[in-house]
Amino acid sequence: MATNDRYPDRPLGSTLPPFTARLANAGVALNLAAAGVTVTIRMRKLGASGRAIDDVAATSVDASGNASYTPTTAQVTDGGTGDYEVQWVYQDAGGLVFKSRKIPHRIVPEA
């Protein structure tokens, strides 16, 4: 569903660049701007039970399946450095849910 192979490494505490994805079903872009649609982004540190991010991806969505999310400083600092996985969750107005595969991401020490 999401087209990213891996997100680039992010320095600890850095909110940029935003997480981005193009969400599609069988190659057809999902209309993320349609009434009743929600797009959630989740990020979890590998081996942790809780999520660093579990938020409606309100930064930006469009009718062509593009979504982006800019995390807060706390969301990319509190868990510390290490390997994470990011997943996008799409739900349409009828309750149908699609989940992207988990996309690897690494937070590294500040330069």
Over the stretch 12-28, which tens digit does the pLDDT of each residue have? 988 888 899 999 888 99
| Predicted pLDDT of residue 56 | 83
In a domain, 17, yes or no: yes
In a domain, 5, yes or no: no
| Predicted pLDDT of residue 33 | 92
Please, what is the Cα angle at 28 between 25 and 32, to 5 degrees? 75
Give Cα 67 to chain centroid, integer Å: 8
Tell me which residue range forms the domain holding 48.
10-106
Q: Which two tokens mark 29? A: 């872009």
pTM above 0.95?
A: no
CA-wise closest residue to 52 among 77, 28, 16: 77
- The segments of the chain whose pLDDT lies below 70 read 1-4, 57-59, 111
Q: What is the pLDDT of residues 40-51, one digit of tens each?
A: 999 999 988 889
CATH number at residue 55: 2.60.40
